[in-house]
Amino acid sequence: MDGEKDILAGCIKGKQSAQRELFEKYSRLLLGVCNRYAQSLEEAEDILQEGFVKIFLNIRDFKGEGSLVAWMRRIMINTAITHYHKMRKHRYHDDLDDVNETRIEESTWSEAEFTREELFNVIHQMPDGYRVVFNLYAVEGYKHREIAEILKIDENTSKSQYSRARRWLQERLKKLNRSESSQP
Amino acid sequence: MSEKLNIEQLIKSSLGEAELSPSPGVWKVVRRNLRWKQFARFNPGKLNIYYLGSLFLAGAGLIILFTRSVQEIEESSVSVDSKTIMQEISPNLKHKIESKDAVEVLDNIGQPEDQSEMSPLESDQPVIKVEGDLSPDNNDTLKAKEENLSANNRTSNQINEPPAQSTLVTYFVSSVSSGCIPLSVQFSNQSINSTQSIWSFGTGEKIEDENPVFTFEEAGKYAVTLTAENAMGQSSTYQQFIEVYPAPRAEFEIEDGFEDINGHVAINIVNYSEGTMSYSWTLLNKNETTFRDWASNDFQPSIKLSDLQQTTRKIRLFAINEFGCTDTFTVPIPIVVESSRAKIKFPNAFSPSPLGPVGGSFSPHEKRADLFHPFFIEEPLEYHLRIYTRRGELIFETRDIYQGWDGYIKQERSLGGVYVWMVEGVWNNGEEIKLHGDVTLIWNDIW
Mean predicted confidence (pLDDT) in A113-119: 88
Quick check: A108 and B5 CB within 8 A? yes
Tell which wins on pLDDT, A44 or B430. A44
Residues in chain B where the model's pLDDT stays below 50: 1, 77-163, 259-263, 336-341, 446-447
Tell me what pLDDT residue B304 has. 72
Which residues of chain B make contact with A56, given a CB cutoff of 8 A?
Answer: 30, 34
- B30 to chain A, any CB pair closer than 8 A? The answer is yes
What is the Cα gyration radius of chain A?
Answer: 19
What pLDDT was estimated at residue A46? 92
Interface test with A, best of B9, B30, B271, B273 (most A CBs within 10 A): B30
Shortest alpha-carbon distance between residue A28 and chain B (Å):
5
pLDDT of residue B259: 46
A30: nearest CA partner in chain B: B19
Report the residue from A35, A111, A169 with minimal CB separation from B20. Answer: A35
Residue of A nearest to B1 (CA): A110
- Check if the beta carbon of residue B372 is closer than 8 Å to that of residue B405: yes
A38 or B116, which is more confident: A38
Contact between residue B117 and residue B56 where contact means Cβ atoms under 8 Å apart = no
Per-residue pLDDT tens for B142-184? 444 444 444 444 434 444 444 455 688 899 999 888 999 889 9
Over residues B281-321, the pLDDT tens digits come to: 888 877 777 766 678 888 888 777 667 766 677 888 988 88
Q: Do A119 and B15 touch (CB under 8 A)?
A: yes
Cα dihedral value B302, B306, B308, B310, nearest 10: 160
Give the residue among B377, B374, B378, B414 at the shortest CA–CA distance from B394. Answer: B414
Q: How many residue pairs bridge chain A and chain B with CB atoms within 8 Å of each other?
A: 117
**Structure ipTM:** 0.84
Query: Which helix (H) or strand (E) segment is B72 a member of?
Result: helix B49-74
- Percent share of chain A, pLDDT over 90: 29
Return the higher-pLDDT residue of B130 and A140: A140
| Helix, strand, coil percent values for chain B (each to nearest 5) | 30, 30, 40
- In the DSSP assignment, the letter for residue B354 is T
pLDDT at residue B44 in the model: 62
| Chain A touched by B10 (CB under 8 Å) | yes
Q: What is the pLDDT of residue A103?
A: 53
> Looking at residue A14, what DSSP letter applies?
T
B20 and chain A in contact, CB less than 8 A: yes
Mark yes or no for CB contact A110/B11 under 8 Å. Answer: no
Which residues of A are less than 8 Å from B35 in CB distance?
none
pTM above 0.90, yes or no: no
Q: Which of A8-12, A39-43, B255-259, B273-277 has the lowest mean pLDDT?
A: B255-259
Give chain A's mean pLDDT: 83
Q: What is the pLDDT of residue A77?
A: 93
What is the share, in percent, of chain A residues with pLDDT greater than 70? Answer: 86
- Rounded Cα distance between A145 and A142, Å, is 8
Q: Among all residues of chain A, which has the CA nearest to that of B251?
A: A15
